[in-house]
């Protein structure tokens, strides 16, 4: 039972990391500037 729980927690951590990586990778400051600032 503990092996299944450990695997589920690892998969959740990997999912959270992938979502975070795709949201913030490659952007200075993390977010795009608004178009109104140009």
Whether 37 is in a domain gets the answer no
Q: How far apart are CA 4 and CA 28, in angstroms?
A: 38
Number of separate domains in the chain: 1
Residue-wise pLDDT tens digits, 3-34 = 999 999 999 999 999 999 998 876 666 566 67
The whole-angstrom distance between residue 36's C-alpha and the CA centroid of its chain comes to 27
Q: Which domain holds residue 22?
A: 1-26
Whether 32 is in a domain gets the answer no
pTM summary value: 0.59
Whether 36 is in a domain gets the answer no
C-alpha dist (Å) from residue 36 to 26, 29, 32, 33: 21, 17, 12, 8
């Amino acid at each position: 039972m503990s092996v299944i729980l450990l695997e589920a927690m690892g998969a959740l951590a990997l999912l959270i990391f992938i979502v975070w990586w795709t949201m913030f990778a490659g952007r200075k400051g993390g977010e795009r500037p608004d178009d109104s600032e140009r």
